[in-house]
Amino acid sequence: MDDQYINKIMTTAILIILGVLAFFLIKPILMSIVLGIILAYIFSPIYNFTLKTTKSPNISASLISTILVLLIVLTLWFLVPVLISQSIKIYVAAQQTDFITPLKIIFPKIFSSESFTNQVSATLHSFIAKTANDLVNSLTSVILNFPSFALQLTVVFFTFFFVLRDKEEMVDYIKSLLPFSKDIEKRLFEYSSGITSSVIYGQIILGILQGFIIGVGYFIFRVPNPLFLTFLTIIAGVLPIIGTGLIWIPVVVFLIVGGSNIAAGGIVFFGIASWIIEHILRPAIVSQKTSMNSWVILISMVGGLFMFGVMGLILGPLIISYLLIILEIYRKKKVSGVFIEGPVINPK
């Protein structure tokens, strides 16, 4: 066995050991690093616009980072106490609210059985109470574990700053590590950029915007616990296929049953407005970009949610989409449209 072969084995072994150690070193803050990278991607257009004015990467990145810090800190400062209060109210109200009567009016045949009705009632009470309880626990843990949370936020902000400022150099470094030809490398990054934009802007950001629009309706028409309902509507809006109707339609039903017809009509108006805005903005965001099939995104979001928590709503689709991109490049054929829709990678 020659010395060169031994040196390769030793170098590989050392790299593997150091890689494993590095993984365990950053594992506690891995999600914070990923969040910082995703936020840098989202704010990248604003950074590019600012850079044209300031001509300084440091000043532009510092300005955008300061805005992000203020945005996150002020949001947490004002919203966390309100969300905790409204979650507790929801938890208490869930024990006293009659969910079955409206359902009996709408679906009399389905709820004709007394035993089935009792089971559904118990399930609904349990689900709403558990959801509210979990949200309260998550928010209070932020307060109780504030030093740890503050350190995680610090990692997010530093990652955000450096990725925003040095993204071009980082992309070049990643390209230098890939085992692909220049042609495949170029197409891979173009394809990945398109599908990342469609997931983050076309699904996540647009879903948040839809939930926010309907949330404005909750506040205008004085729907009880509007902030909590807005939070749930945003989550539903982010999920493909499901949509914001999962939340605002039952809210409308309960308002009608309670005799608040004007408020119900107002929420319907905002729900329809949200739907129209989605169908105007989504084609503009995803137009001529690669996008994943909706059911693939839904499955990857659910899987990501179980594996990574809330961050999995973003990471799940991105991981699956990058896998599908590699498979399509490996096949060297046009995209079939079953999993991925949009521009194809033409084999050469």
pLDDT value of position 161 = 92
Query: Which pLDDT value is given to residue 214?
Result: 92
Q: Is residue 85 part of a domain?
A: yes
Give residue 72's domain range.
30-177
138: nearest Cα among 204, 71, 87, 95 = 87
Residue 70 lies in a domain: yes
Within a domain: residue 225? no
pTM to 2 decimal places: 0.70
Residue 154 lies inside a defined structural domain of this protein? yes
> Which are the contacts of 308, defined by CB distance < 8 A and separation ≥ 6?
31, 315, 316
Residue 187 lies in a domain: no
- Within the chain, residue ranges assigned H as helices are 3-26, 30-54, 57-96, 100-106, 114-144, 146-177, 182-199, 206-220, 226-238, 245-257, 261-286, 294-308, 312-331
Q: What angle do CA 217, 223, 224 make, to 5 degrees?
A: 145
Tokens describing residue 300: 């990857």
Predicted pLDDT of residue 335: 46
Q: State whether residue 241 is helix, strand or coil.
A: coil
Question: Does residue 94 lie in a domain region?
Answer: yes
Determine, yes or no, domain membership for 270. no
Counting beta carbons within 10 angstroms of the beta carbon of residue 205, is it exposed (0 to 12), middle (13 to 18) or buried (19 or more)?
middle
Q: Is 205 inside a domain boundary? A: no
Confirm if 241 and 295 have CB atoms less than 8 A apart. Answer: yes
Kindly report the backbone phi and psi dihedral angles of residue 204, in degrees, each rounded to the nearest multiple of 5, phi listed first. Answer: -75, -60
Query: What's residue 347's pLDDT?
Result: 41
Domains in the chain, number: 1
Contact 79, 73 (CB under 8 A): no
Of 278, 138, 272, 311, the closest CA to residue 208 belongs to 278
Q: What is the pLDDT of residue 73?
A: 83
pLDDT score at 331? 67
Query: pLDDT by residue for the chain (348 residues), tens digit each?
Result: 566 777 778 888 888 898 889 888 888 888 889 888 888 888 888 888 888 888 888 899 999 999 888 888 888 787 777 777 777 776 676 666 666 666 666 667 676 677 777 777 777 777 777 777 777 777 677 677 778 888 888 999 999 999 888 888 888 888 777 777 777 777 777 777 777 777 788 778 888 898 999 999 999 988 887 887 888 888 888 887 778 888 888 888 878 877 788 888 999 999 998 888 877 777 666 655 555 677 777 788 888 888 887 778 788 888 887 787 777 777 665 545 555 555 544 444
In the block, residue with structure tokens 């690669």: 290
* Conformational region of residue 291, where left means phi above 0, alpha means psi within -120 to 50, and beta covers everything else: beta
